[in-house]
Amino acid sequence: MFSFISYLWEIFTVGAKRDVDVDVAFDMFRTDVSLGEAKKFNTGDALPNFDFAKAKVEWDKLTGDEQKAAYEEYHDCVETYYKELCTMFVMLSK
């Protein structure tokens, strides 16, 4: 099943390359997944080899409740491991 946690590296890469925090990077990434393409004003060229169309197919297979659960799972992970994730983000940004 689709999980944003599986894409933490991509989300953090967007944040580092677009110089935005993790929450903004998540919003950019999830929007481009839902659109099936990297939009210039979102992820742009931060993930040149990422297949947003393929991720959209997986996302669209989920029911509304499953999509909600994917959002909640991601946010729970960030809340639970915030300090560790921030450390990882800083290391990636260097």
- pLDDT value for 94: 66
pTM assigned to the model: 0.88
Cα–Cα distance, 50 to 84 (Å, whole number): 25
Cα–Cα distance, 64 to 18 (Å, whole number): 29
The two structure tokens encoding residue 61: 């297979």
- pLDDT value for 83: 81
| pLDDT single digits (tens) 29-44 | 999 999 999 999 999 9
Tell me how many domains the chain contains. 1
Domain region containing 44: 4-93
Cα–Cα distance, 46 to 86 (Å, whole number): 19
Look up residue 46 and give its DSSP letter: S
- Which stretches of the chain are DSSP H helices? 8-18, 22-35, 52-61, 64-80, 82-93
| Residues in the chain, pLDDT under 70 | 92-94
